[in-house]
Amino acid sequence: MAILDTPRPDPLPAPFLDALKDLLGEKGWTREPEALTAAATPWRGAFAPGHTPLVARPASTAEAAALVKLCARHGVAITPQGGNTGLVDGGTPHGEITVSMTRMQAVRDLDRFNNSLIIEAGTPLVTAQEAAREADRLFPLSLGSEGSATIGGLISTNAGGVAVLRYGMMRDLLLGLEVVLPSGDVWDGLSGLRKNNTGYDLKHLFAGAEGTLGLITAATLKLFPAVQRASAWITCESAGDVVALLARIRETAGDTVTSFEMIPENAVRMVREDMANLRDPLPSSSPWRVLCEISMGNENHARETLENALGDALEDGLASDAVIAENLGQAGDFWAIRESIPLSKKAFGMSVNHDVSVPVSKIPDFLEAAARDVAAIAPQAEIVAFGHVGDGNLHYSACDPADPEQSALKPKAGDITAAVHARAMSFGGSISAEHGVGRLKRDELAGIRPPAATEAMGAIKQALDPLGIMNPGRVVNV
């Protein structure tokens, strides 16, 4: 592979390497080619691979702090890495040493009465969910990469997922943080307080900073009462009906609506073709499906509320058909279809992907206008638009059933992206709803953000990281 074959002069000074080896011990670092390649390879070829001269694996906050201090002393740049599932080229190193957080996975404290969990940054999301469940509590963040994505990565990308409608994004689930600053100093802000008006709320600086302001070593997360779920698979005849259906169900079920995922018919078809074991819960020619979940303390109440809400919607004609999962296994089957879309889309062939958001009410108009724009550039493109419609967030792809290298869409990808992004912006939307900025969207966003915002971000970066060693070139170009 190119990463291994290209000879590169060692960019790491010998005194730095000697000190690092003493500091971290044998388990704390590697220069094995396989490990370097793995660290520099993004999730399933989401973008081009990078390269890294060394992977460091601190096992404690003290080790992480000493490591960053050492890097600052020698001017060695760092890319913090968790599960390496990010989709915007933020956690893949491009010459920096990789600081992998995967040895920091301790649950430090769980306080059932304060409803808070202190957990280390390298812990996979599923472990946090399980820890909460064992204490009869809920940590609500949930997304397709939850087996690999880590708490530190999720905070750093301010991840969203399928329960944002009710519980908010990662930033909303954060009570406190412990961070190694670019100087190597540690900020211990792990307080589990819900009220603490003592000046700038520093934790929010690091949420969404994508590792550019410091290395997160631990976090205090909000927990919620455990809930029981009721899930429905619904068919709708238009995007307008989907949006009206959400409003209708919320009128009946209020804040108990946890997820409301919009899935087009062609996405279900792609999943079915790719994964023979998954079946469409309600085969029909309707153009849209909705996966709706309601959660309440009592399972029967949740089911009853969902049944009532759906009854009204079917009567009004906002839904054409619906089925409620009989048990957790069936609900899991619904989610398996939803969560398989990204991989099945990849198996289908070429796709030009976007992570946009618009006000929920504008979704139907956006879909219509963007489809027209894309057709004008690439008439053969098949549009697959799915996502968290309750948050106005669509994963919008132009697809072609061809080898990505040969596809006629390939030379048009830049124009398609420009058109989709321009259309989202024209509806008052965002071109990065939940995946972040990384290197992929840095320059485009610099041209879109108000100049005062870019200037303020640059000033914060300079103030905290004057040497520019923390994940340089991501988010802001300083």
- Out of 220, 259, 397, 471, name the contact with ligand FAD by CB under 6 A: 471
Task: Name the amino acid, one letter, at 53.
Answer: P
393-419 residues labelled b (16+ CB within 10 A) or e (exposed) = bbbbbbbbeeeeeebebeebbeebbeb
Q: How many residues touch ligand FAD (CB under 6 A)?
A: 37
**Minimum CB separation from ligand FAD for residue 441, in Å?**
12
**Minimum CB separation from ligand FAD for residue 343, in Å?**
7
CB-nearer residue toward ligand FAD: 71 or 310: 71
* 442 closest CA partner among 130, 212, 169: 212
- Out of 103, 434, 465, 469, name the contact with ligand FAD by CB under 6 A: 434
* 340 closest CA partner among 269, 402, 286, 290: 269
CB-nearer residue toward ligand FAD: 412 or 435: 435
Q: Parallel, antiparallel, or unpaired: how do β-strands 321-324 and 224-225 relate?
A: unpaired
- Out of 39, 149, 302, 445, name the contact with ligand FAD by CB under 6 A: 149
Q: How far is CA 56 from the centre of its chain?
A: 24
- Out of 43, 47, 187, 224, name the contact with ligand FAD by CB under 6 A: 43
- Out of 36, 110, 121, 310, name the contact with ligand FAD by CB under 6 A: 121
**Minimum CB separation from ligand FAD for residue 313, in Å?**
25
State residue 155 phi and psi, 5-degree precision.
Answer: -70, -45
435 binds ligand FAD (CB under 6 A): yes
CB-nearer residue toward ligand FAD: 143 or 236: 143
**Minimum CB separation from ligand FAD for residue 39, in Å?**
9
- Out of 39, 55, 118, 215, name the contact with ligand FAD by CB under 6 A: 215
432 binds ligand FAD (CB under 6 A): no
CB-nearer residue toward ligand FAD: 144 or 349: 144
d(CA 183, CA 109): 27
For 408-474, where are the alpha helices, taking DSSP H only? 413-426, 442-448, 451-464
Residues 297-356 within binding reach of ligand FAD (CB under 6 A): 342
d(CA 370, CA 429): 13
352-382 residues labelled b (16+ CB within 10 A) or e (exposed) = bbbbbbbebebbbbbbebbbebbeebbeebb
Order of strands across the sheet with 174-180? 107-111, 116-120, 215-222, 174-180, 186-189
d(CA 57, CA 136): 33
CB-nearer residue toward ligand FAD: 88 or 322: 88
229 binds ligand FAD (CB under 6 A): no
**Minimum CB separation from ligand FAD for residue 51, in Å?**
15
**Minimum CB separation from ligand FAD for residue 40, in Å?**
12
123 binds ligand FAD (CB under 6 A): no
143 binds ligand FAD (CB under 6 A): yes
Residues 236-295 within binding reach of ligand FAD (CB under 6 A): none
Whether the CB-CB separation of 204 and 176 falls below 8 Å is answered with: no
- Contact segment (CB under 6 A) with ligand FAD among 150-158, 249-257, 316-324, 400-408 equals 150-158
**Minimum CB separation from ligand FAD for residue 122, in Å?**
7
State the binding string over 62-101 for ligand FAD (x if CB under 6 A, else -): -----------------xxxxxxxxx--xx---------x
Residues 181-210 within binding reach of ligand FAD (CB under 6 A): 210
CB-nearer residue toward ligand FAD: 378 or 384: 384
Which residues face 180 on adjacent strands? Answer: 186, 215
d(CA 311, CA 315): 6
Rg of the chain (C-alpha set): 23
Order of strands across the sheet with 55-56? 29-30, 55-56, 97-100, 78-81
**Minimum CB separation from ligand FAD for residue 6, in Å?**
23
**Minimum CB separation from ligand FAD for residue 190, in Å?**
14
Q: Parallel, antiparallel, or unpaired: how do β-strands 107-111 and 224-225 relate?
A: unpaired
Which residues face 98 on adjacent strands? Answer: 55, 79
Listing DSSP states for 38-57 in one string gives HHTS-GGGSS---B-S-EE-
Per CB under 6 A, residues contacting ligand FAD are 43, 79-87, 90-91, 101, 121, 143-145, 148-150, 152-154, 156-157, 159-161, 210-211, 215-216, 342, 434-435, 471, 474
